[in-house]
Amino acid sequence: MKWNLKLLYKDIDDPQIKKDIQASEEAINKFVHRWKKNEKYLVDSKVLREALDEYEYLNSEHGILTKPYYFTLLSKELDLNNKELKARLNKLSNKATKLGNELQFFGIKLSKISKKKQDEFVNSKELKEYKHYLEMLFANAKYILSDNEEKVFSLTAKPSFSNWVNMIEELLSKQILNVLDEELNSKKISYNEASKYLTSVKKEVRNKAAEEFNRINKEYIEIAEYEMNSILESKQVSDEYRGMERADLGRHLSTDMDSEVVDSLVGVVTENFDISKEYYKKKAKLLEQETIGYHERNVPISKIDKEYEFEEGLDIVKDVFYSIDKEFGDILTSFIDNGQVDAFPKANKSGGAYCIHINRNLPTYILLNYNSKVNDVLTIAHESGHGIHSELVSKQNALNDDYSLALAEVASTFFEDFTLEEIIKRTDDKELIESLRFESMNDSVNTIFRQVAFYNFEKELHSKFREKGYLSHEEISDIFVKHMTAYLGDAVDVDDGMRYGWIYVSHFRRFFYVYTYASGLLISKYLQSEVRENREFVEKFKDFLKAGSSKSPKDIFMDMGVDITDREFWEKGVKSI
């Protein structure tokens, strides 16, 4: 089962690609020519409606080289060693950045209008379709710089941030570890393959892998120190220049969540770290150890040998989707029938799994690396859940056909959890059932408690850097250990694995993103409980999926009778874990 990229173009040499690149450039230049010097849209709601309609059409039909970029990116994902595809993608990315810089005047100028005019536009019937787009733009207005200043930040982002992050990721990915396989034979693996061996049920295997993993991290910790300080300084410069009052505010604005709501979520989870501490005490006991190493956090309590051929696993997921709502099942079936799923591992293909959706008029694609394990079945459900969300949100206009990152994991975990229930229903193996439930708890602990501990680490990391001006790797490790032990407790050793644990976590380079995992799963748990109690609630769930960014997450849930600003909402979710 492979991706059918012919839904986009015939092949990489399809002449339509060049035509679409030219059409996108021409559409952008036409928009810039018409509106850059014509500022009537800044004072007249009817003219603004006309400008927004054109802007929406531009984003919907052309985007910024959207379709050619999408096709080239997906082609590269199936052939990672193809240097020609890498070069083409890089050229498209650079060109898109320049075109984006040309377009940014529109939002910048609009954001700078008076508060009185902002209120007028937000409440205008003429602009009702774009109400929340304008609300978000005006909420960010205080922190948006001039057109030229924004161009400078955009153009310098690569050398001041991306190059540093890419450097440490690529250096680590090239390293080779000498480990033991499951038969205890010596084996050489790449750095990115280590997780499989770190979580082996055989202690000799996981301990040897940890020894090697820590050796590599120790070798590169000084480079990581410079990288981390550089990107922290880059963030500080941007925040101070924009007048951001707190280091995490930019993330709150981009995810459309009030800081008070995020603070409430983080506070409630932090206050309940006893739940995760008890979990690790129980895990140590089940593993017949007094304590466990940092690398043993995710070791399963027993090996799950049950296997599902792809068709069998897919049938389980289909049954679950159809049982919840026919539309969900039909969308999943269409993904399979249309070639929007690439299912199996192969040489040079990207690892892991993901769902990608880039434009309301372009197909959603799902990448899997199916290996017949229970987790692979759950991954079909998880990524297809993202796909369902993407398909339903595409009914919004192009300025609203996305959703807050704070809600990104809601649909995926919703469908994954219902699929896990179905797998458990279909087996009489008590040991398997116990293992699956324990692994489900492990996932919840990682998604909620670990991510909030990460968030707390990030907050202190940025604060200490701004206070001191530079942090040694020892100081960074001390902060990391403080927040890891806060949620792990005494059952997990403070070892080299923990002290070096910040080096390879990519999320710390995507500042304050981690809270969205916790918010997504806790919201998902609430929606699951409502659907179990009343299947008619599925319609409200579908309304949530269709809403996209037409409203804030707070208002979307208010329409469902749920107040996510209330601490009690998050407390109920945490207590249900």
Indicate the domain borders of the chain: 5-144, 176-219, 310-426
Superfamily of domain 5-144: Oligopeptidase f, N-terminal domain (1.20.140.70)
Q: What is the DSSP letter of 374?
A: H
Question: Shortest CA distance to 368 belongs to which of 352, 388, 386, 346?
Answer: 352
Residue-by-residue pLDDT tens, the chain, 577 positions: 999 999 999 999 999 999 999 999 999 999 999 999 999 999 999 999 999 999 999 999 999 999 999 999 999 999 988 999 999 999 999 999 899 999 999 999 999 999 999 999 999 999 999 999 999 999 999 998 888 898 889 888 888 888 888 888 888 988 999 999 999 999 999 888 888 899 999 999 999 999 999 999 999 999 999 999 999 999 999 999 999 999 999 999 999 999 999 999 999 999 999 999 999 999 999 999 999 999 999 998 887 888 999 999 999 999 999 999 999 999 999 999 999 999 998 888 888 899 999 999 999 999 999 989 899 999 999 999 999 999 999 989 999 999 998 998 999 999 999 999 999 999 998 888 988 999 899 999 999 999 999 999 999 999 999 999 999 999 999 999 999 999 999 999 999 999 999 999 988 999 999 999 999 999 999 999 999 999 999 999 999 999 999 999 999 999 888 899 899 999 988 988 8
Q: Are 454 and 514 in contact (CB under 8 A)?
A: yes
Class at the top of the CATH hierarchy for domain 176-219? mainly alpha
Collapsing DSSP to helix, strand or coil, 314 comes out as helix
Q: How far apart are CA 463 and CA 465, in angstroms?
A: 5
Place of tokens 């997921």: 317
Give Dmax over CA atoms of the chain in angstroms: 74
How distant, in Å, are the alpha carbons of 71, 76, 101, 170 from that of 89? 10, 8, 18, 18
5-144 against 176-219: fold identical: no
For residue 450, the Cα-to-chain-centroid distance in whole angstroms is 15
Three-state secondary structure of 439-490:
HHHHHHHHHHHHHHHHHHHHHHHHHHHHHHCCCCHHHHHHHHHHHHHHHHCC
Q: What does the pLDDT read at residue 3?
A: 98
In 334-471, beta strands by DSSP E: 341-342, 354-356, 365-367
Question: If you compute the radius of gyration of the chain from its CA atoms, what whole number of angstroms results?
Answer: 24
Are the CB atoms for 425 and 535 separated by under 8 Å? Answer: no
Contact 168, 226 (CB under 8 A): no
CB 33: neighbour CB atoms within 10 A?
10
> Tokens 């890419």 — which residue?
166
